[in-house]
Chains A and B, each alone.
Chain A
Amino acid sequence: MLDCAIIGGGPAGMTAGLYATRGGLKNVVLFEKGMPGGQITQSSEIENYPGFFEHGKTGMDFMDTWQEQVFHFGLEHRLDEVKQVRKEGDHFVIEIAGGEPVEAKTVVVGTGSTPKRAGFKGEEEFFGKGVSTCATCDGFFYKNKEVAVLGGGDTALEEAHYLSNICSKVYVVHRRDTFRAAPSTVDRVMRTENIELITDTTVEEVVGDAMGVTGIKLKNKKSGEETLLEVPGVFVFVGHDVNNHVLKDGEGNFICDVNEQGQVIVDLSMRTSLEGLFAAGDLRIEAPKQVVCAAGDGAVAALQVISYIQEQA
């Protein structure tokens, strides 16, 4: 039986693994269906993680520096997708896609979140054919072309700035006239010549042909005026949905308490309502959705795991 099963290989899970193994636990497995790194590997920049301040380095460059360290103390990575976690008596059973279930004394869930769809007409149909949620992945396909970015938060404006270096023009479509993004990011976007802000405006529909997107239909919320913006690409950054499905039982009920948004309710020690189950990173309540915070959560959870196991012994 594992001392600790960590589910999800982003900054929270990787840090939990580092702390758990360096703290003396022997059987600790990180379940991550692909290469660890998490959502930050899609980010075009990271300049708010103390100790890492290299302009021009991407989220992927940043997470590369973690790989050797977090596995140094015996953490094992299993390239498996976890389907479900459940508690049987005093231990947990981890159901694996296409594999045998694994038993563990404790579980740290750090499955993070997934970019949300905006919900406009045609979004699903054209996803991957002009509609994207990853500028670092797909910006390249719009070299010297005009694109639209939807959203007004940090991610939207940071990625709009990234795209402005590749694309001939970037339209930022935002439903309000103020931006939630950090003031320094807003300033930088405002100063960028080939970024045009289209505020108080929503995307009603994305239109296209067999080859993909050809434009988006916009609606000004104040005047009600509808216009067609002819762009081959739309990048959607309108927030995230938490990945909590591994915490649902066969009937669709959560095995621990969650709030209305499905975020896992934890205390300051990352303990959930179910003994031995911890949550860390973006899927917990009030998560600031920052790498440094997710890493902190992972460390807190692992330290709790260690003392929990000592108490049980």
Chain B
Amino acid sequence: MAKYVELNSSNFDATIAEGVTMVDFWAPWCGPCRMIAPVVEELAEDFEGKATIAKVNTDEEQDIAVKYGIRSIPSILFFKDGQVVDQMVGAAGKDVFADKLNALL
């Protein structure tokens, strides 16, 4: 079973460098973040081998959050070969994330 990648300052850049990556910026105290957590887990399975599904705990990785100007969570950033190509704020259904990923593949 594929699992999402937990990102931190040491593996962030390398992870987003190639291919399509969805990064969910979240924190433990955030209700809507918790709401989409099972969706993110399912996406990691559905997109195994096609796109990287990752999460950043903004409580622990504040530098990454600052670098990408995160001021609301959940913020979901979509990277292609290292560049931010799409982003959204707030909870949504699985098909919304899947559509955005498929559009980049």
Tell me the complex Cα distance, A128–B56, Å. 17
B20 interface residue per 8 A CB criterion: no
Q: Which of A31-39, A152-160, A259-267 contacts B (4 or more CB under 8 A)?
A: A31-39
Within 8 A of A (CB), among B62-104: 65, 69-75, 89-95, 98
Closest A-B pairs by Cβ, 9 of them: A41-B31, A128-B89, A81-B93, A34-B35, A33-B93, A128-B72, A98-B95, A137-B30, A42-B31
A–B Cβ pairs within 8 angstroms, 19 of them? A34-B32, A34-B35, A34-B91, A37-B31, A41-B31, A79-B39, A80-B94, A81-B93, A81-B94, A81-B95, A98-B94, A127-B72, A128-B75, A134-B30, A134-B72, A137-B72, A137-B74, A138-B71, A233-B71
B5 interface residue per 8 A CB criterion: no
Interface magnitude class on chain A:
20 to 34
Interface 1/0s, chain A 74-113, versus B by CB < 8 A?
A: 0000011100000000000000011000000000000000
B37 interface residue per 8 A CB criterion: yes
Q: Which one, B34, B58, B59, contacts A35 given CB within 8 A?
A: B34
Count A/B pairs, Cβ under 8 Å.
93
**Which B positions have Cβ atoms within 8 angstroms of A?**
27, 29-39, 42, 58-59, 65, 69-75, 89-95, 98
List B contacts of A232 (CB < 8 A). 71
**Which A positions have Cβ atoms within 8 angstroms of B?**
33-35, 37, 41-43, 58-60, 79-81, 97-98, 127-130, 132, 134, 136-138, 140-141, 211-212, 232-233
- B68 CB, min distance to chain A CBs, angstroms: 11
- B101 CB, min distance to chain A CBs, angstroms: 13
List A contacts of B93 (CB < 8 A). 33-34, 80-81, 97
